[in-house]
Structure 1
Amino acid sequence: MWLYLAALLGLYFLRRWYQERQTVENLTEKYVFITGCSAGFGNLLARQLDARGLRVLATCTTQKGAEQLDKVTSERLKTTILDVTSKESVAAATEWVKEQVGNKVSKNYFQRREFSFTLRDDIYVRYQSFNTPLELEKEIQKMCPCKIDIGAVYSHKPIQHNMVHLGAFQAQEKELVFDIDMTDYDDVRRCCSSAEICPKCWTLMTIAIRIIDRALVEDFGIKHRLWVYSGRRGVHCWVCDESVRKWSSSLRSAAVEYLSLVKGGEETIKKVTLPDNIHPFISESLNVVKRYFREYALVEQDILGSKESYEKVLALVPETVRKELLQEFTKKHDSVKRWELLTKALERHSSTLKKMAHTESEIMLQYCFPRLDMNVSKGINHLLKSPFSVHPKTGRISVPINLKKLDEFDPFAVPTISRLCHELDTVSNDEGDAKENEGEPENSRRSRDYKKTSLAPYVKVFEQFLEEMEKSHKKERLKASDMQLDF
């Protein structure tokens, strides 16, 4: 009897020992769903499992709790808001988990995208959503908005935002966007101010695109970027990589902070201060600035041409050198020669004044480095004007920019709405085209007419961008299919 009990006990401990020695394979590919992660045990478990490499899907009761958890965990951990007492919130969280685990585009992705219309007299109509692109097209024709903005993809259809529980309606993803506005350079450009631009100062946008785009590709590993002219005084960038679209506000803020260098408001004189050890991103950016600085800053902007302008530059150098240069500048009368005097003076004093080691670079960067609007980039629910919109002030079309011909881009040469109307009227009156399209439905013919207008090359740039995204998406799906042996 005792021998039998001892044998049973031995088998029990042997089975327990075997079970405890089992390990989960491919831990980093496993998902774990945890509720109540704003604080307490749920928060602790989420952080520990994230540290072990699992893909944690954490729900929090408040947006503040979600943001705090995002700050102390890796990019693997994803957060959403969940109110377990709300059926709508539970349903939204269920759909969110399916999207995260399946890594597929939801069937109602387009339906959950926000569109905003600006009508005459600055009437804003937000939280518009549509079941199909055709519905959107018909609504645009009906409302004839002055401006169209694109927002986030939400947990519910935006048009139903007043019908769901307050905490359940959440922005879930959106392209990372950058907004660069020429008015932010008013303290360093002499040719224009406010909303005005000209070919001389447009070089600032060219420099900004080159610096930011290089960093996005080489520093962040981003593939899909669409640069768009705003239609008036700036440029926008849409970063469309699938993983980036799901970034939290804190990740977006960190990216903008990484790409920002010019700090301080109107009262700040010196807005760029470099450390002893310059970060590679700044070094690469400086290389871009140097390519344009002489022609742009010294020749076209003539930043040292007048006493008022060169005193602003000299305010950025140490006082001992400043006094010397104020006297020497009277002997030369153009910016190029005065810049040579400045660089030679800095070189002479560099051995005695360590803080002057980067003064020349700091001046160049303060006058040319990109100036980003952080609020536009960090907010997931922030709106941004749709490509191919018509700017209500200028009538110019917000067109994609071909990066291969960036230096050739002319904001004054882009199509205007009046020009396009004239071109379309010309096409429709062409007798040859009338014979060619005889019997073809009117809508089908008109939808092809843009190819015979000045808008065609810009549409081609956009189509090429979409084709590259589609190829990349198919490649990723094929790769996932091969890994799952799903032929």
Structure 2
Amino acid sequence: MFRKPYHPHIERSLEVLKDQFIDVVIREQDPWRHEDRYEDLARAVPDYRLSNALIKYWKTTTDRSSADKWLDVDKYYQNLKIQSFDLQDWKKEMIFKTMYPRLDVEVSRQMIHLLKSPFCVHPGTGNVCIPFDPSKEKFNPLTAPNLQTLFNEDEEHVENTSLQPSIDLFNKYVRDLMKEELTKKRTRDESKESLEF
């Protein structure tokens, strides 16, 4: 994905992304827990022996979380004495593939692109860009409200439209974000006070 040595910006990004990858992807989302998904992790490993050994092991141990499987890659890499690739470089690449933002030309060029903000309307389809709950396993973008549906619903009371659950979710997200920032600010302020003479 990126050439080595990494640009300093990429190195700094990696430091930020590592913790988020562990907390959000591996612990919260737990993407490789089930058989239909853990093969994605194993197939991402660039060594055929290691990939097959992981799949074989995971088929016999169905109770392992994504965090366990992430550690299994380390264990099997060492046990099989793999030398065909560097494990730490592979882990960095996995973090980048999963977490590093990738914006195409249209996202960068057009102010109306759906990635710009929630609740904007796609000019071609009329679909409304809505936030979704990442803790829920399934999200079908085809069930998101579209402009025509919203016009047909009660215009005077937004709480009666199909957009309301998304608005509630977004409001909850913003409230939680504000609480988190307030907690961080208090912690910073307290640590500043303790450093004063």
**What is the TM-score with the length of structure 1 in the denominator?**
0.24
More helix per residue: 2
More strand per residue: 1
Larger Rg: 1
